[in-house]
Each structure stands twice: as structure tokens, then as C-alpha cells.
Structure 1
Amino acid sequence: MRPIASIPALTLLLVAPSAASASEVTDSGALALAAIVAQLSPDIGDADKQALAKLLDGDTGFQWKTSETIAVTAKSIKCHTSNVDLTSHDCTLTFGGKDSTLTGRAAHELLATLAEEGLQPDAGAGNVWYALSALDCAIDVAQVKAKDGGGVSCTFGPAD
């Protein structure tokens, strides 16, 4: 007869957070991540930003060049919140040599999206940090519009 694992051991396995290392995400959260980051990227044109914003809003009734994929990249993303100052939410996104900043509700939206995608926080002394490097997303707009569960892939690494 095989021994049965103890209840505490099973509980630990069920609630233990997953490791945060290099990751690939392909779900609706990946679309949200790409759409949020794209709005701040100096490398993405207005038409691509509008298309991603529409997709994130659930609007698929727009014309699109079916052969084109939108690439969204960021060198790093560093977001901060506090479990002491509950009003504190800020993110810094680095695109090459240019930084962009989000604060307040917009920063919280990005923080929540990073958590949704499994990024583990680094907490200490009242501060909570979410950070990643080398974000690289590819969005096939036509496939996302087809609503078949595909069309988005984002990869990222641990913070530098």
C-alpha cells in the first residue's frame, strides 16, 4: 500500500506561489499587458495603439491589415505600491533610453495585470515591487478578432 501524503503537505503544494522567472503568457491578461504598455511606447504608432485599445475594450468590429502583427516591447517595467500608504501606485516603463511613468489608477491597472500574469511581488518595509525585464509581445490582431483563444504571446524575464 502506498503512503498517503499528509494534509499539511498537500495544503502547502496547493497554496505555494509559482516561481517568477522567465515567462510566456498567451491569455487575455497578455493582451491587457500589451495594450497597456503599448499606450506609453514611443515605438508604436497611433493606429496600432488604437487597435490594441479597442481589442482590450472588447471591440473587434474594426478593419485591420490581416497580415500585420503588432510588436510591443519594453526594456523593463518596475511598479511599486505600498501596504502602508494605500494611495501609492506608480510604475516606470523603460523603452530603450526613454522612461515613461504611470501613477494612480493607471499604475494600479498595470500592477494588477502583472499580478494576474503570475509575476511574484518583492515586498519589504511597507513597499511592494513588481518588476520584469525584456518584455516582448506579438499580437496577431486578425487572430484575436477571430475570438478563438489565440493571437497574443508575451515573454519577459526577471527584473535586472
Structure 2
Amino acid sequence: MRLGRLMILACSLPLASSAAWAAPATTSGSVALALAGVVAPYSPLPATEKKAVAAFFNGDSDVHVIRKITVTADKVVCRASNVDITSRSCALTFGSRTHTVRGREANAIYATVALAGVPGDGAAGTIYEALSKLSCTLDPKVIKDKAGGGADCSFEPGN
């Protein structure tokens, strides 16, 4: 009887950990700004908002946008090989459009997703960082105060 209970518990642990892994997550402050900053160039944002996000990410809070900016992505899936060490890419999905980046840009996105607390995963020589339902809100008025606020993101780890 006791062995049966232990088997049920042991078999349910992977299910519980994968459910926790997919739970919604949030980040704020500098990490949220970085996450918005690496995704925004590929997003369907208007050019003025992309420039504002780039300015914030480059340390310039003196922008002419006063309304909140929302950077979203349906999915961000990054891969790096631990066999072919030159191979790294990220696929960013915005609605029906997917934009693939490679090299330095992919590495920046991969590292920022990891910095945001998304646990990595791997299989067959590839290490993955992935998230879905990304929504980052930047408030230019609060960012201009330079008090650590004004950037918040929510997402679901995994794809």
C-alpha cells in the first residue's frame, strides 16, 4: 500500500513542476525595460514608439511620447546549440507574423529572457529559452522620474 502511494507521488511530481513552470510570471524595473527593449524592434509598434523604447533602453528618458507604450509578443522562442557553438536563433511571433533573428541579436534576446527568470530547457544538443503571451507596459512619465519604476512585464514561461 505504501509503495503504491509513493509511486503515485513520484509520478505526479513531474506534472506538478511542469504546471508551475507554465504559470504566469511578472518582472518589473530594469529587467522589464530590457525585455521590452530587445523585443520592440521586431514588433508591429509604430515607429515613434519603437524609437521611444530604444531611447529608454539606451539610457535616454527624454522622449516626446507621453502615453504608455505596450510591447507584446505572442511567443518568443530562442535556441542555442551546445554542440554547434556558433548556432543561436530566436523566433518572435506577433499574430500571424514570425520574425527570426540570429547571432548577436538572438543572443541578446536569449540572455534577456533568461534574466527575466524564464527557466531554460534542453534536448539533443539545443538549449531553449521560451515564453508566450508577453505584455510589457512602459510609462514614460514614471521612467523619466528615474526612481526605478515605469516598466512592467507579464508572460508565461515556455511555449
Tell me the TM-score normalised to structure 2 length.
0.83
Other structure's SS at 1:39 match: helix
Q: Is the contact made by 2:71 and 2:137 (CA closer than 8 Å) also made in structure 1?
A: yes
CA contact (8 A) 1:70 1:140 kept: yes
Specify which structure has the higher proportion of helix: 2
* Aligned partner of residue 73 in structure 1, secondary structure: strand
Runs in 1 of length 4+ with deviation above 2 angstroms? 18-21, 61-65
Between the aligned partners of 1:120 and 1:140, the Cα distance in structure 2 is 27
Is the Cα contact below 8 Å between 2:61 and 2:140 reproduced in 1? no
Deviations 1:82-113 (A, max 9, x none): 11111111000110111111110000000010
Aligned-pair CA distance for 1:125: 1.8
Deviations, residues 96-140 of structure 1 (Å, cap 9, x unaligned): 111111110000000010111111111122110111110011110
> Residue 60 of structure 2 aligns with which residue?
59
- Deviations for 1:6-26, whole angstroms, at most 9, x for unmatched residues? xxxxxxxxxxxx956321000
For 1:26 and 1:33, the matched residues in 2 are separated by 10
2:21 and 2:73 map into 1 onto residues whose CA distance is 22
Match of 1:21 in 2: 23
- On the 8 A contact 2:22/2:158 being kept in 1, the answer is no
Q: Is the 8 A contact 1:20 1:119 kept in 2?
A: no
CA-to-aligned-CA distance 1:23-78 (integer Å, 9 cap, x gap): 10002111011121111012x0111000110111101233332xx10011111110
Number of aligned residues: 140
Residue 37 (structure 1) aligned to one of 36, 39, 44: 39
Contact conserved, 2:137 with 2:151, CA < 8 A, in 1?
Answer: yes
Q: Which amino acid in structure 2 is aligned with residue 128 of structure 1?
A: I
CA distance in 1, matches of 2:152, 2:114: 17
- Determine the structure 2 residue equivalent to 1:82: 81
Secondary structure at the counterpart of residue 143 of structure 1: helix
Matching residue of 1:47:
48
User: Would you say the 8 A contact 2:37–2:57 is kept in 1?
Assistant: yes
Q: Deviations over 1:128-157 (max 9, x none)?
A: 011111001111012112111111110001
Q: Is the 8 A contact 2:21 2:157 kept in 1?
A: no
User: 1:1-160, aligned counterparts within 5 Å?
Assistant: 21-42=23-44, 44-65=45-66, 68-160=67-159
5+ residue gaps in structure 1?
1-17
Q: How high is the TM-score relative to the length of structure 1?
A: 0.82
CA RMSD of aligned residues (A): 1.5
